[in-house]
Amino acid sequence: MSAEAGYSTTITINKGHSRTTAGLCALFLGGIGLHKFYLGKPIQGLFYVFFCWTFIPAFIALFEGIRYLMMSDAEFQSRLEQDKLDHIGGTFSVSGITPDTHVKCPDCRGFVPKEAKVCQHCNCKLVPQ
């Protein structure tokens, strides 16, 4: 699997998730972790369920919901990608993204190939290093 293949796979995994849906889930049913289940993090979601009686998850979810709704789509997607990478193994190399081949976009913090001139997430111009 080439670096490019791994990269596009990561993007595709996250395409189905709507930022608005995740935000609304967090605001209204975040106390039971609905947004976590929606975003494919059932383990985190279960913590919300277990501790919902303390109202702490609802409080955290309220902030998460507001944050989801405030951030740009590009930022939201790149956050999901980052979470996925952390989840998979904690290293970039698992999905073909390594510090040698990719840099972080200063705008949306998504990973872009080093030689790219434009970020494929937020379309901002990148300064070659």
Residues that bind Zn ion in the complex, under the rule CB under 5 A: 105, 107-108, 119, 121-122
C-beta of 57 vs 110, nearer to Zn ion: 110
Contact status, residue 81 vs residue 11, Cβ threshold 8 Å: yes
Residue closer to Zn ion, measured from CB, 58 or 80: 80
Rg for the chain, CA atoms, rounded: 16
Q: Are strands 111-113 and 102-104 parallel, antiparallel or unpaired?
A: antiparallel
Q: Are 81 and 10 in contact (CB under 8 A)?
A: yes
Residues in the chain: 129
| 120: amino acid identity, one letter | Q
For the CB of residue 108, give the shortest distance to Zn ion in the complex, in Å.
4
Q: Shortest approach of Zn ion to residue 126 CB, angstroms?
A: 8
Reading the block at residue 79, the tokens are 């956050």
Pairwise CA distance, residues 110 & 82, whole Å: 8
CB-nearer residue toward Zn ion: 17 or 109: 109
Smallest distance from the beta carbon of 12 to Zn ion, in angstroms?
18
- Residue 23 CB, nearest approach to Zn ion (Å): 20
Q: Which is nearer to Zn ion, 41 or 121 (CB)?
A: 121
